[in-house]
Structure 1
Amino acid sequence: MPQLVLLAADLVAVGVLVLGVYFPRHRRRDLVAAYLGVNVGVLAVSTALSSSTVGVGLGLGLFGVLSIIRLRSTELAQTEVAFYFAALALGLLGGLGAGTTGAELLVGALMALVVAVMWAGGHPRLMRSYRQQQVVLDRAFTDEAALVAHLEQLFDARVHQATVQRVDLVDDTTTVDVRLELGVRQPAHRPAVPVEPQLTGALR
């Protein structure tokens, strides 16, 4: 019975994680199937291994192998990577916890913690004004203060960090990775935000 309780708890947890948290926010249908499939697959294998003396070691090895294969197969956003690992963790908790006597409450609490963290960490209202973008400007900026001022005027926001990826003096372009806060303009007396140049052969 305790084993069935943990299996049911995992299915409920991954259902809430994927269908209640991930999909309503990101609307990527292909990853719904991926998250559910990975979770149930890991749950099945880890449950079978939980009765073995090497179950935990093999379970962690399975976690690593699946992570490498999945993350190399396609490009995922960092948020999607986090949901992927959460689905894996829930499957391992449900499967390996089933082989531990009296672990139902602890495993259930850990599952709830994983789902709660993913719900809170990716909530749209959390740090909603902050953005990270890679921008290609139609000017070759070699002056840090001018670059930051131009970005703040362009986005009507405060630039917290600007990392130059490429400056092309021939085509007159600048590629910059910028971290900014919308709706907050930088005061005129505030020192310019440091720009971290990373010119990799683009300056010609």
Structure 2
Amino acid sequence: MAQFALWLSDIVAVSVLVFALYFPRHRRRDLVVAYLGVNIGVLAVASSLSAAGGAATGLGLGMALFGVLSIIRLRSTELDQHEVAYYFSALALGILGAWETEQEWRSATLMAVILAVLYVGDHPRLLRQHRRQVIVLDVAIPDHATLVAHLEHTLGSRVHSVSVQRLDLVNDTTVVDVRYRSTPGARPRPAAPPRVEATTPHTPAAVQP
């Protein structure tokens, strides 16, 4: 009966995780299926191993978790860090729901702690002015200080970190990963036009007949 209560707690917790926290904030339907599948799969495997008991329980559970983490790591589709955090949370909820213990309240409390941490850590209002973008500039800027000044002028915000991913001197482009703090009410400004130095037109010398 106690184990059934933990299973029910896990189902409720993963439903809150997916349908109350993740999907309303990020709207990726494909990961809804992934999180539910990981949670229920780990719950089923861990419950079977826990019920079997013996020295092989820990080894079998470790191998199962290693397999799940390998699948997450080797996915062809790139995942953001917050999506990886939801993966681990769904996995942890499944383990807590399957682990046989005489203190069910502890597992239920840990489930609530996981949900609370994700609610706060992934809240849209938490550090919402700090942003990250990958930007393609239509000019090649090899100098770091000049690059930062150019980005701050374009974004209208203070740049905290810049990582150059590609510098193409042939096609005159720069691809950068920018982390910056947006200013409320500020709007991106057009890039400053390149400076062109005035030159004196060359007058050909007169040809003597």
Query: Which TM-score applies when normalising by structure 1?
Result: 0.84
The one-letter code of the counterpart of 2:177 is: D
> For residue 12 of structure 2, what is the aligned residue in structure 1?
12
What amino acid sits opposite 1:49 in the alignment? L
Q: Which whole-Å deviations, capped at 9, do the CAs of 1:105-152 have from their partners, x for residues lacking one?
A: 111111111111111111000100111111111111122221111101
Post-superposition shift, 1:57?
2.9
Aligned to 2:70: 68
Structure-2 separation of matches of 1:182 and 1:143: 23
Aligned residues: 182
2:90 paired residue number: 87
Shift of 1:71: 3.2
Could you tell me which amino acid in structure 2 is paired with residue 91 of structure 1?
A: G
Superposition deviation, residue 75 in structure 1? 2.0
Deviation at 1:61, TM superposition (A): 2.1
Equivalent-residue separation in structure 2 for 1:56 and 1:86 (angstroms):
20
Q: Decide whether the 8 Å contact of 1:59 with 1:92 is kept in 2.
A: no
Q: 1:49 deviation in Å?
A: 0.8
Trace 1:131-170 onto structure 2 (pairs within 5 A): 131-170=131-170
The answer (yes or no) to whether the contact 1:157–1:183 under 8 Å persists in 2 is yes
Q: Say which one has the larger Rg.
A: 2
Which consecutive unaligned segments of at least 5 residues does structure 1 have? 185-204
Residue 172 of structure 2 is aligned to residue 172 of structure 1: yes
Look up the SS of the partner of 2:158 in the other structure. Answer: strand
Shift of 1:46: 0.6
Q: Write the distance in 1 (CA, Å) between the matches of 2:33 and 2:164.
A: 38
Match of 1:50, SS?
A: helix
1: CA distance, partners of 2:78 / 2:145: 34
3-state DSSP of counterpart to 1:31? helix
**Pairwise CA RMSD of aligned residues?**
1.5
- 1:25-70: per-residue Cα shift (whole Å, max 9, x none)? 0111111111111111110111111121232332232112112123
- Matched position secondary structure for 1:109: helix
Return the TM-score normalized by structure 2: 0.82
Matched ranges for 1:16-27 at <5 A: 16-27=16-27
Percent sequence identity over aligned pairs: 52
Aligned to 1:182: 182
> What is the identity, as a one-letter code, of the residue corresponding to 1:67?
L
